[in-house]
């Protein structure tokens, strides 16, 4: 199952970048998105409506913003992974280039993404799921 989950995750990033819309069919209806502490859009964002709200609120500040997947680490539980990614683009109001790293714990249920938990520090995400860096 972990390879299928990795492929689902990769599909999310690819399709989000290509269509500028989160692909709802990759997400479980009970989805929860929690950004990192101190985020301007911390959430929680719940369900598929929350997914769309997360996208709008997060990417509203970017001009041509995208989310780039850097790495997905799967531990003993194939339905839980630590993901390093970056919000990349140009800030809409200032024109400054942006490249914000964020680490997340991503959880799967029935082959679909059911939870994103954002962490500012990579070590915090690993600790949250009991993995060693």
In a domain, 107, yes or no: yes
For residue 68, the domain's CATH number is 3.10.450.50
Task: Quote the domain boundaries for residue 67.
Answer: 2-128
In a domain, 133, yes or no: no
Count of the separate structural domains present in the chain: 1
CB atoms within 10 A of CB 66: 15
In a domain, 121, yes or no: yes
Give the pLDDT of residue 4: 94
Give the model confidence (pLDDT) of 79-128 as tens digits.
999 999 999 999 988 999 999 899 999 999 999 999 999 998 999 999 99
The most distant pair of C-alpha atoms in the chain lies apart, rounded to whole Å, by 43
């Amino acid at each position: 199952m972990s390879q299928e989950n990795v492929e689902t995750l990769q599909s999310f990033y690819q399709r989000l970048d290509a269509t500028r819309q989160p692909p709802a069919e990759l997400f479980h209806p009970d989805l929860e998105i929690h950004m990192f502490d101190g985020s301007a859009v911390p959430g929680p964002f719940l369900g598929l409506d929350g997914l769309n709200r997360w996208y709008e609120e997060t990417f509203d500040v970017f001009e041509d913003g995208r989310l780039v997947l850097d790495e997905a680490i799967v531990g003993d539980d194939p339905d839980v992974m630590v993901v390093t990614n970056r919000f990349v683009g140009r800030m809409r109001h200032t024109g400054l280039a942006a490249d914000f790293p964020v680490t997340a714990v991503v959880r799967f249920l029935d082959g679909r993404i059911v939870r994103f938990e954002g962490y500012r520090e990579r070590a915090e995400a690993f600790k949250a799921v009991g993995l060693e860096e």
